Structure 1
Amino acid sequence: MPDRRATHAGSWYSNSGNQLNQQLENWLDKAELTYGPARAIIAPHAGYSYCGACAAFAYRQVSPAVVKRVFILGPSHHVRLRGCALSIAEKYETPLYDLKIDTQINAELEKTGKFSWMDMNTDEDEHSIEMHLPYVAKVMEAFRNQFTIVPILVGSISSDVEAIYGEILAPYLADSQNLFVISSDFCHWGKRFSYTYYDDSCGPIHKSIEKLDKNGMDIIETLNPSAFNEYLKRYSNTICGRHPIGVMLQAVNSLQSRGYRMNFKFLKYAQSSQCFNMSDSSVSYASGSLIFE
């Protein structure tokens, strides 16, 4: 099988391994380890100039010594998917070093009958998974030959279908050698995103956006998938990774019913710019960590 090229390197992040390594190192150094070891993280997938510093707060919670496998769940931005899809590649290229796909886990997931396969064009067009690859490579660099990745492209699925995938992935989430990366930006605000919700009691528009996002973040921290779905129905907040988040919440819900105890905490929030006028636009970013008690 062909390797997946680092198609967004040089535009969304540096294609120079040395420069990229230095950037990631600087961001990680400025983030504190306060909520680890992470079993799952939520982190953004925009260009690193916008969200690189925010993403570091999630990746700083990872304990690389225990991780043998990294599941990366990203939303599909370009193709319509009724379910979830796996990669046909054997390796993902990054400017730091190549990441090996776990073909054995892919085969296990395929046997469930619930997963399709991305073609290489779909895989290489999609940035929601790729933007996490350099960070995964960086935090795992001391163990670069001792781990694999499982990229999963998540389609626009109902809460019932999220529950099916959550049930499938729950045993993998329960395994302390696995790390789940949930790829999501938060509110995409502005006319170009066809979303201009504004609560003027908050003052400036960017404060209304922050309140809206943090309301959703607070609900995610309760680990209640039904409450998160109700929030999305009420506000239609343009959280592009809502379905990967939903799958994670359903996996957590499945494990909680079996006696597992988990907690999630958001550690950083940022916006690409501050909106003051209806002609402005911004994208929000949030980073958080799920730990097992």
Structure 2
Amino acid sequence: MQASIRAASHADSWYTGNGTALNKELREWLQQVEPTDETFPVQGCKAVIAPHAGYSYSGPTAAWAYKAIDTTGITRVFILGPSHHFYMNGCALSSCEEYETPIGNLPLDQDTINELRATGKFEALSLQADEDEHSLEMHLPYVRKVFEGKDIKIVPIVVGAINEEKEAEYGAILAPYLAKPDTICVVSSDFCHWGTRFSYTYYYPDEEASSRSGFDLSRSVKPSPSYPIHESITRLDKDAMDILTIPPKSAETAHRDFARYLQKTKNTICGRHPIGVLFGAMAVLEKEEGVKPLVKWVRYEQSSQCESIRDSSVSYASAYVKF
């Protein structure tokens, strides 16, 4: 029976494994969220996009997404995260019955998982692969915290290196679930991983540059003294966030434009495929259900400010989706 529970394998490394301390951290980060132009939680919130780094880096940013969730009537939470440890040209479902967190376990929605498995489109995730992957786990304590005292089940899905067409295909499978009033979706993604350690040093030479005029920095190719690397990274990420903002465009157009943006810039947004699946699902709901989604970005931060080619950083962004 123990094998059916996925252990909190990144506790005491990526975040504290002490339940009392973790609960206090999450509570304080959520309390620190103070939006100035809207009211949280957001009525009609159907999905959030939030980072999955160690909590000391991304925990406060993720709080902005979770504070937006209106938990009223929600009984099922899909969690979509990228695969960091193995290649997969598809999506995979957990074989576990529960996911452990230091502040309380989360049961998996076996009925929904069996329905998804019956489509023949999903691979099975081994326990080892499940516990190795952090992109889902880093969201579990936040999910447990914001749904504290509530009876919910989760549907964790690891999304592989799929193309735009497959993102739309999996989005179409998930769309009927996302349309249900008792369901929301969490999408796990960090943004730009910049630096030689990530093999990514793309740079805009000035604030007017387009993606076509960007280039890679190296020891011999230096940044402009008047345009710091961290400002270029911000611009690079904000370009992606602008593309993924709805309205004025449709989810289908945003999905297409995001794919083109990634082709041009190669921005190292690790959750680009889970994001693509979410936008694929929204595109179906736009066409078939007349849904008019709203996607708003509410927080953006960087782990450090890069000034030279020797530096590195990871960006974190949070958004909510409302129908």
Aligned to 2:8: 6
Distance, in Å, in 2 between the alignment partners of 1:179 and 1:279 is 41
Letter in 2 for 1:251: A
1:64 Cα shift? Answer: 1.6
Structure 2 unaligned residues grouped into runs of 5+: 208-226
Matching of residue 191 in structure 1 with residue 196 in structure 2: yes
Does the residue aligned with 2:149 lie in a helix, a strand or coil? helix
**Structure-to-structure mapping, 1:136-215, within 5 angstroms:** 136-143=143-150, 146-202=151-207, 203-215=227-239
Distance, in Å, in 2 between the alignment partners of 1:219 and 1:91 is 36
Aligned to 1:275: 306
Distance, in Å, in 2 between the alignment partners of 1:115 and 1:198 is 37
2:92, 2:159 within 8 Å by CA — same for their partners in 1? yes
Give the structure-1-normalised TM-score: 0.97
1:34 Cα shift? Answer: 4.1
> How big is the alpha-carbon RMSD for the aligned residues of Structure 1 and Structure 2?
1.0
Within the candidate set 58, 65, 80, 1:73 is matched to: 80
Distance, in Å, in 2 between the alignment partners of 1:233 and 1:217 is 16
Matching of residue 112 in structure 1 with residue 119 in structure 2: yes
Distance, in Å, in 1 between the alignment partners of 2:181 and 2:313 is 36
2:41, 2:70 within 8 Å by CA — same for their partners in 1? no
2:47, 2:186 within 8 Å by CA — same for their partners in 1? yes
Aligned to 2:273: 243
Matching of residue 217 in structure 1 with residue 248 in structure 2: no
**Alpha carbons of structure 1 residues 35 and 208: separation in structure 2 relative to 1, 3 Å:** farther
Distance, in Å, in 1 between the alignment partners of 2:283 and 2:166 is 14
1:179 Cα shift? Answer: 1.1
Matching of residue 19 in structure 1 with residue 21 in structure 2: yes
Distance, in Å, in 1 between the alignment partners of 2:5 and 2:120 is 25
Does the residue aligned with 1:180 lie in a helix, a strand or coil? strand
Within the candidate set 123, 138, 145, 1:131 is matched to: 138
Does the residue aligned with 1:157 lie in a helix, a strand or coil? coil
**Structure-to-structure mapping, 1:78-93, within 5 angstroms:** 78-93=85-100
1:189 Cα shift? Answer: 0.1
| More displaced 10-residue stretch of structure 1: 81-90 or 62-71 | 62-71
Give the share of equivalent positions with the same residue, in percent.
52
Within the candidate set 39, 51, 59, 1:52 is matched to: 59
1:35, 1:291 within 8 Å by CA — same for their partners in 2? no
| More displaced 10-residue stretch of structure 1: 217-226 or 182-191 | 217-226
Letter in 2 for 1:198: Y
Structure 1 unaligned residues grouped into runs of 5+: none
What are the Cα deviations for residues 154-197 of structure 1, in whole angstroms up to 9, with x where unaligned? 00001111111010000111112111000000000000000001
* Dislocated runs of 4+, deviation >3 Å: 32-35
| More displaced 10-residue stretch of structure 1: 126-135 or 110-119 | 110-119
Does the residue aligned with 2:274 lie in a helix, a strand or coil? helix
1:35 Cα shift? Answer: 6.5
Does the residue aligned with 2:168 lie in a helix, a strand or coil? helix
Letter in 1 for 2:294: N
1:35, 1:289 within 8 Å by CA — same for their partners in 2? no
Aligned to 2:297: 266
Distance, in Å, in 2 between the alignment partners of 1:163 and 1:93 is 31
Give the structure-2-normalised TM-score: 0.88
1:98 Cα shift? Answer: 0.5
Distance, in Å, in 1 between the alignment partners of 2:41 and 2:164 is 28
Does the residue aligned with 1:288 lie in a helix, a strand or coil? strand
| More displaced 10-residue stretch of structure 1: 179-188 or 56-65 | 56-65
